[in-house]
């Protein structure tokens, strides 16, 4: 009799586990998984997230364009100043030659040559920035088309 009663308790516990606690645990796990799946598969949330990321990328690219344009303008100002300096030095060299001061003329021409080298370097940098600006503008247009 003791063995059968113990077996009955095990059977009752097993049936109780399946019907009560087991079902509840299964339901909790299913709810958690369902919630995770809903978040992962919710197309509205996915679209909103994608849209937000594209807007952020577009703003970042537009800031990049503005920074490149600003740098380009600064270099153009420096180039204009160097060009003026070069013209002034060449004028000083001519004046020094007219006054018979070849040493001063040579010095002015050397400085003018150095300014010319700097000017060439600035013009290359400006060209690179213009190229970068065009690429960023194209990227900006593509992103804007996706966002709109």
User: How far is CA 2 from each of CA 5, 14, 69, rounded to the nearest angstrom?
Assistant: 5, 18, 92
pLDDT at 43 (0 to 100): 72
Within 10 Å of residue 89's Cβ, how many Cβ atoms?
A: 20
What is the rounded distance in angstroms from the CA atom of residue 120 to the CA atom of residue 115? 9
Query: Nearest-CA neighbor of 135 among 76, 64, 71, 74?
Result: 64
Rounded to two decimals, the pTM is 0.65
If you count DSSP H runs as helices and E runs as strands, how many of each does the chain have, helices first?
Answer: 4, 0
Give pLDDT tens digits along the chain (148 positions): 444 444 444 444 444 444 555 566 556 656 766 666 665 566 777 778 788 888 888 899 999 999 999 999 999 999 999 999 999 999 999 999 999 999 999 999 999 999 999 999 999 999 999 999 999 999 999 988 988 7
């Amino acid at each position: 009799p003791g063995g059968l009663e113990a077996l009955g308790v095990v059977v009752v516990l097993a049936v109780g586990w399946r019907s009560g606690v087991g079902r509840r645990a299964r339901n909790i796990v299913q709810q958690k998984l369902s919630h995770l799946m809903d978040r992962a598969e919710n197309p509205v949330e996915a679209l909103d997230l994608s849209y937000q990321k594209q807007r952020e990328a577009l703003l970042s690219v537009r800031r990049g364009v503005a920074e490149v344009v600003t740098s380009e303008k600064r270099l153009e100002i420096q180039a204009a100043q160097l060009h003026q300096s070069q013209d002034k030095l060449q004028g000083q060299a001519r004046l020094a030659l007219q006054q018979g001061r070849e040493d001063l003329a040579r010095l002015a021409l050397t400085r003018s040559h150095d300014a010319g080298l700097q000017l060439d370097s600035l013009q290359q940098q400006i060209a690179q920035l213009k190229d970068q600006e065009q690429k960023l503008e194209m990227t900006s247009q593509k992103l804007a088309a996706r966002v709109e």
